[in-house]
Amino acid sequence: MSRRQERKLSRKIKLGSRDVAINVVSLIDIFAILVFYLLVNALVVEVIPEYQNLTLPSSIATEKPQRTVTVAVSATDILLDEQPIMSVEAALQSEQRVLGLLAAALRPLTGAEGVAGTTELGAAQSRSGDVNIVADRDTPYRLLKKVLATCVDANFDRVSLAVREITQGGGA
């Protein structure tokens, strides 16, 4: 090897060891995606829809509501995920423990179409799903009892009643 080639090679080695390239474009992309993901998920606050004509009872809620099927009982209608199912008047006049129209609308949401003649163990294993019941605090108990029985009959194993959260001090 000639002297010139040796100097050129040694210069490359010296200069090459000082050059460290960091690709910051990919880091910026990753952080931008992370910030976007955090912003989208942090802004999801309300889970249960607001109903203007309902006054919810007050309670000290310790758990945040989760996104589930919502049955709302207004002054005039019973709604399933904001879709009217039947009138309150028809529900109150019904002599049945379970409201047929509401049960028919709820059953497809659990994936169980109501298996007749199952044992208690089989029925307990087939239950699935959560449901939130949103009702005005002036809703008659007999109507609320029918709605609760219908939800349980439609294989919802966790039935929750929506309330308006108050602070520990007692103010609304």
Domain ranges for the chain, please list them: 3-42, 58-165
The span from the CA of 146 to the CA of 16, in Å, is 80
Q: How confident is the model at residue 48 (pLDDT cuts 50, 70, 90)?
A: low
Q: What does the pLDDT read at residue 34?
A: 92
Q: How confident is the model at residue 65 (pLDDT cuts 50, 70, 90)?
A: low
Partners of 87 in the β-ladder? 77
Read off the pLDDT of each residue in 134-159 and give the average, rounded to a whole number: 86
Cα 90 to chain centroid, rounded: 30
Task: Tell me, yes or no, if the pTM score tops 0.75.
Answer: no
**Sheet harboring 69-73: ordered strands across?**
83-87, 77-80, 69-73, 130-135, 158-161
**pLDDT (tens digit per residue) in 79-107:** 888 889 998 898 888 888 888 888 888 88
